[in-house]
């Protein structure tokens, strides 16, 4: 399938792989975002407007503004719509879905239905708790998966003693999105040139369990309760903590290795504690002296003094700060994006899309290892366009049949 209308497609290890994405937001959308940035052809399959519940529409900038993605709308409940979708499945490699367990089977689009038309198809079902188990039908979001996977209970609590709310969607992004993308890539390798497809049961909660597995494995092996302040990486010692600077900014200290800890103590004038890094009797005193030391200078002054001195000290950057950070800039992490609105360079209304979207903005580029850098500007297809005619024609449907499906409302 060609995705020329979606903007230039990057080269990469997944070039030539076609993914049909039935999700709109969440972990599955994170998964296909990664796969597209690794070079896969990703086709977003949405609902036909006006038929059934209106799907969640993320902000224009979300999921990298759907760069490199094609779009089609198909009514999967309509028999003709189902057949149109299956025509796309015949030449696809992967279908990614995030419905509740059992939904694709009721739509007659489960794994057996898909492999009946394409024996090599990989179906990636991404759900909160997996296809089986007592929680499989539960609804949930990021905070729920972090809660049951142990992450919240092993993180420093709030002032009232309650678990914190994470500042990033860790479960969606890593426990779900990266988990699903890794599973898909492993399945593609395992399938090889002529092997059969497979059904991947991706549970976001299982992914969070793996993220917390250092703590879980310690508890299973030793029987010890594991939580905040239990060991060096969960706040037990002063060498791994955050400290406020004179200007109210914060510094993160991660001086785990003894040599780094010794450097830190020397550079901030706390050499009296060099030999007491893991001495539980003195941690309150060490923290107090570290806090006093760091409070003597502004954050950036400490960074200038410590960051390159093997003391494992960094600034705590806000989002507004990190987008201009010299390290990310040097690695080309932030790129310019331009939406090619179908109504012209300024969109139908002259100032972007119908929702008032700007046609130029910045975004996080393809930053993971093995992804092709985006270059000076990323071109993004009009988010309101439909690639349905082109995609169905490439799948072998004739012009008259496509027109019939459009007239019936089975596709849009």
pLDDT tens digits along 231-245: 999 999 999 999 999
Same domain as 360, residue 239: no
Domain boundary among 315, 340, 359: 315
Count the Cβ atoms, other than its own, within 10 Å of residue 387: 22
pLDDT at 287 over 70: yes
Q: In 95-212, which ranges are continuous DSSP H helix?
A: 103-106, 111-117, 142-148, 170, 179-191, 204-211
Residue of 84, 77, 22 whose CA lies nearest to 52: 77
- Give me the mean pLDDT over the 338-365 stretch: 66
The confidence score (pLDDT) of residue 83 equals: 98
* Residues catalogued as catalytic: 141, 172
Distance from chain centroid for Cα 58: 14
Same domain as 372, residue 391: no
Same domain as 393, residue 350: no
For residue 216, tell me if it sits in a domain.
no
For residue 275, tell me if it sits in a domain.
yes
pLDDT at 336 over 80: yes
Residue of 168, 169, 175, 179 whose CA lies nearest to 96: 179
Same domain as 188, residue 290: no
Same domain as 348, residue 400: no
Same domain as 28, residue 137: yes
For residue 67, tell me if it sits in a domain.
yes
Q: pLDDT tens digits, residue range 242-283?
A: 999 999 999 999 999 999 999 999 999 999 999 999 999 999
The confidence score (pLDDT) of residue 2 equals: 39
Same domain as 65, residue 188: yes
For residue 56, tell me if it sits in a domain.
yes
The confidence score (pLDDT) of residue 349 equals: 33
Domain boundary among 315, 350, 367: 315
Same domain as 341, residue 285: no
d(CA 241, CA 251): 8
Instruction: Give this prediction's pTM.
Output: 0.91
For residue 31, tell me if it sits in a domain.
yes
- Report percent pLDDT > 90 for the chain: 86
The number of folded domains in the chain is 3
CATH number of the domain bearing residue 391? 3.40.50.10540
The confidence score (pLDDT) of residue 382 equals: 87
Q: In 175-241, which ranges are continuous DSSP H helix?
A: 179-191, 204-211, 213-222
Same domain as 83, residue 126: yes
Please give the backbone phi and psi of residue 126, each rounded to the nearest 5 degrees, phi first. -110, 115
Burial of residue 294 (CB within 10 Å: 0-12, 13-18, 19+) is: buried
Helix (H, G, I), strand (E, B) or coil at 187: helix
Same domain as 184, residue 98: yes
Q: pLDDT tens digits, residue range 214-228?
A: 999 999 999 999 999
For residue 220, tell me if it sits in a domain.
no
Same domain as 404, residue 298: no
The confidence score (pLDDT) of residue 8 equals: 61
The DSSP H or E segment spanning 378 is: strand 377-381
pLDDT at 125 over 70: yes
For residue 321, tell me if it sits in a domain.
no
CATH number of the domain bearing residue 302? 3.30.1540.10
pLDDT: which is higher, 324 or 6: 324
Q: pLDDT tens digits, residue range 201-217?
A: 999 999 999 999 999 99
Residue of 231, 319, 318 whose CA lies nearest to 283: 231
- 350 is in which domain, residue-wise? 331-378
- Give me the mean pLDDT over the 330-350 stretch: 71
d(CA 368, CA 390): 31
Torsion over CA of 31, 34, 39 and 40, rounded to 10 degrees? 10
Spatial neighbors of 182 by CB under 8 A, at least 6 apart, are: none
- Give me the mean pLDDT over the 387-405 stretch: 97
pLDDT: which is higher, 25 or 6: 25
Q: pLDDT tens digits, residue range 33-48?
A: 999 999 999 999 999 9
Helix axes 204-211, 179-191, angle to 10 degrees: 100
For residue 162, tell me if it sits in a domain.
yes
Same domain as 200, residue 95: yes
Q: In 49-167, which ranges are continuous DSSP H helix?
A: 62-65, 79-89, 103-106, 111-117, 142-148
């Amino acid at each position: 399938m060609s995705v020329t209308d979606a903007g230039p497609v990057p080269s990469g290890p997944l070039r030539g792989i076609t993914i049909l994405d039935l999700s709109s937001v969440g972990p599955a959308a994170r998964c296909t975002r990664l796969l597209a940035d690794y070079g896969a052809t990703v086709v977003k399959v949405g609902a036909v407007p006006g038929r059934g519940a209106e799907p969640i529409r993320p902000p224009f900038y979300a999921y990298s503004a759907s760069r490199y993605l094609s779009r089609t709308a198909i009514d999967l409940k309509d028999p003709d719509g189902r057949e149109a979708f299956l025509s796309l499945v015949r030449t696809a490699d992967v279908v990614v879905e995030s419905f509740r367990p059992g939904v694709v089977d009721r739509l007659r689009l489960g794994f057996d239905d898909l492999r009946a038309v394409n024996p090599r198809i990989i179906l990636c079902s991404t759900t909160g708790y997996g296809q089986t188990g007592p929680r499989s039908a539960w609804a949930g979001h990021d905070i729920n998966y972090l809660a049951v996977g142990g992450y919240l209970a092993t993180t420093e609590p709030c002032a009232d003693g309650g678990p914190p709310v994470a500042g990033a969607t860790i479960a969606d992004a890593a426990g779900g999105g990266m988990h699903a993308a890794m599973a898909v890539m492993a399945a593609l390798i395992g399938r090889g040139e002529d092997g059969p497809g497979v059904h991947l049961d991706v549970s976001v909660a299982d992914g969070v369990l793996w993220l917390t597995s250092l703590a879980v494995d310690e508890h299973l092996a030793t029987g010890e309760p594991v939580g905040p302040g239990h060991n060096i990486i969960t706040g037990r010692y002063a060498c791994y903590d955050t400290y406020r600077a004179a200007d109210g900014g914060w510094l993160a200290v991660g001086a785990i290795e003894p040599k780094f800890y010794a450097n830190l103590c020397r550079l901030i004038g706390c050499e009296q504690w060099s030999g007491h890094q893991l001495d539980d009797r003195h941690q309150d005193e060490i923290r107090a002296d570290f806090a006093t030391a760091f409070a003597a200078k502004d954050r950036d002054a400490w960074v200038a003094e410590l960051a390159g001195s093997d003391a494992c000290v960094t600034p705590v950057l806000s989002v507004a700060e990190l987008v201009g950070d010299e390290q990310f800039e040097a690695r080309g992490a932030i790129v310019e994006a331009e939406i090619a609105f179908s109504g012209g360079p300024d969109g139908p209304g002259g100032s972007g899309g119908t929702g008032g979207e700007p046609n130029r903005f910045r975004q996080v580029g393809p930053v993971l290892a093995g992804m092709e850098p985006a270059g000076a500007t990323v071109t993004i297809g009009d988010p309101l366009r439909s690639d349905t005619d082109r995609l169905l024609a490439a799948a072998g449907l004739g012009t008259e049949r496509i027109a019939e499906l459009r007239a019936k409302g089975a596709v849009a």
